[in-house]
Chains A and B, each alone.
Chain A
Amino acid sequence: MKAASQPRARDEQERLLVIDPARDAFADYQIDALPQFFRQGDALVLNDAATLPASLRAGPDLELRLMSELEDGTWLALCLGRGDYRIPTEERGAPPQLALGDELCFGHGLSARVRWLDPSSSRLLRIEFEQRGGQLWQALYRAAAPIQYAYVPAPLALWDVQNAYAARPWAFELPSAGKPLRFETLFRIAARGVTLASLTHAAGLSSTGDPTLDARLPVAERYELSHETATRLRAAQANGGRIIAVGTSVTRALEAASASGVLRGGMQRTELLLGAGSRLRTCAGLLTGLHEPGTSHFSLLEAYAPRPLLERAIHHAQRQGYLQHEFGDSCLILKGSLNVGDTKRAAEWRQAG
């Protein structure tokens, strides 16, 4: 599938592929049509993490990409060698050999010490910043740039990688499922009697460029679901409402938070992997991007819909010129989303199916 190679122009609508596992069908819409697929009592859950500028340069031969902030105050980071985001990650050279205690200077008054080196990969380490509090955050925002990949050629500004409702900067890459959501759409969804709710999930890197490291993704990612939100979501469920996750990160957080059988609030870390055969305890539907078979995101979709349907839908999207990746089009997987009474659409499903 073609990658979206830049942020959307202001008035360009994302496309929306709606997949209904109950009808074994799918249909094409525009993102503006999203509200009609929800009903009173449903809840839409968004990841309100803002995206950190998480790419730091310590000289021409070393780029660090922050991956996770750990409990002890250190940060897990990926090292990439010479070059920048314009070179595909897998083609980047080896980073220079670093030793424990080495100081890394990133400019703008930001510096860190190497605190841990991964025994099996010279690309993975933990650093401790030498600044604290406001000084750290201010320097980090000045020194770092958003992580980006070769399929987006122009440098991204910080605002390109933020969702409209973002708050705490916990995400290392844009939680992109929320990117097409304008407030006009969100308020129309709320006006249908749908609860808008949020959690914060520290979405990590989508790719390291190293197959053995990619196999270790996602690393344990922290999330916070407030007790108040957990209570509201339990109430929505108890009243027959469906919980619809915006993004794979929200799915993972909600399913981790309900692993005990009951959805519980709190701050946790999860490395939960979902796929075909996973039983979803909380999430009834998912709004996400377009993901190709073979990716970990696609595997997660299999928890929502059977693989043959997903494959047919994705191939259809490919033929129709849908775009993938963080500035791409959207996909809603929700049982009962397609209305059999809509004959025009019904004709399209037959054709599509």
Chain B
Amino acid sequence: MDISGTATMITGASRGLGQALALELARQGARLVLVSRHLAGLQPVVRRIREAGGEAHALEADIGAKDEVYPLAGAAAALVGPIDLLIHNASELGPTPLRLLLDTECEDFERVLAVNLLGPFRLSRVIAGSMALRERGTIVHVSSDASVNAYSHWGAYSVSKAALDHLSRLWAAELGERGVRSFSVDPGEMDTEMHRAALPDANPATLLQPSVVASRIAALIRANTVESGARLELNSAGAQS
């Protein structure tokens, strides 16, 4: 898909990988709607993109809140037109330090599923109908290696990402014939605030920079060779496996 001029929505865009994706896709000419729970966190990103001559708009929304999905999708389409590239990047780890399932409150588990799974489903459901009608569109799900590995303490997050991977495959199965692509990406371990919250003792030198990961994801979006429904791993060596 040609990124230049593409109406794009990125959730969780105020920091980490979301912010890096915003900057990278703006550099490649995407017309961006950036979403975060906190408008204040988005404003510096929007400013930076606009100063560099790009187009970006900030919208405040909680992806886990049912009532906020239609207003978000409507405002986004009003600002940049029908969304052709939707990146589900917003993610909720749950309370940190991470805890055993037996110590996990049900409400915390539900909240993680609301943000990481139900939110992406609801948002895609509102946006992908128009993609299917127009026979164009790409949906990217940011996953994790916790979706395929049962790491102790990663309970709700791990379950939500496994389900998200499968949601991505199902969109691909149902919308492939209508020209809509869906894939999930395991970005690998990155030097982000979320990673520090989950694993405070990790050595930053062993971690990927979000900007590097963002340019690899942008390459996957551009490449028409990526099979719809695929789960792609970007490991620390940079090779795609």
Contacts and interface: CB of A to CB of B under 8 A. Distances in A.
Instruction: Tell me if chain B binds chain A.
Output: yes
Interface of B: 33, 57-60, 70-71, 73-75, 77-79, 81-83, 126-127, 129-130, 132-134, 178
Nearest to B130: A167
Nearest to B42: A134
Interface string A152-171: 00000011001011111100
Given A165-B133, A183-B129, A198-B134, A134 B77 contact: no
A178 B70 CA distance: 18
Interface string A132-154: 01100110111000000000000
A164 B129 contact: yes
| Among A140, A158, A166: residue with most chain B CB under 10 A | A166
The 8 closest A-B pairs by CB, nearest first: A141-B71, A137-B75, A167-B82, A167-B130, A165-B129, A134-B57, A169-B74, A158-B70
Contact of B82 (A48, A138, A162, A197): A48
A196 interface: yes
B54 to A, nearest CB: 14
Interface of A: 46, 48, 50, 52, 133-134, 137-138, 140-142, 158-159, 162, 164-169, 183, 186-187, 190, 196-198
A107 to B, nearest CB: 15
Given A162-B70, A165-B129, A166-B129, 9 more contacts: A48-B133, A50-B74, A52-B74, A134-B75, A138-B75, A142-B71, A162-B126, A167-B82, A190-B178
A183 B132 contact: yes
12 contacts: A48-B134, A134-B58, A134-B75, A137-B75, A141-B75, A159-B70, A167-B77, A167-B127, A168-B77, A168-B78, A183-B129, A186-B133
B63 to A, nearest CB: 15
Nearest to A51: B74
Contact of A169 (B60, B78, B129, B178): B78
A187 B178 CA distance: 9
A57 to B, nearest CB: 17
Contacts of B33: 134
Contacts of A159: 70
Contact of B133 (A134, A141, A162, A196): A196
Contacts of A138: 59-60, 71, 75
Contacts of A169: 74-75, 77-78
A37 B79 CA distance: 38
Contacts of A183: 129, 132
B126 to A, nearest CB: 8
A165 B59 contact: no
Contacts of B126: 162
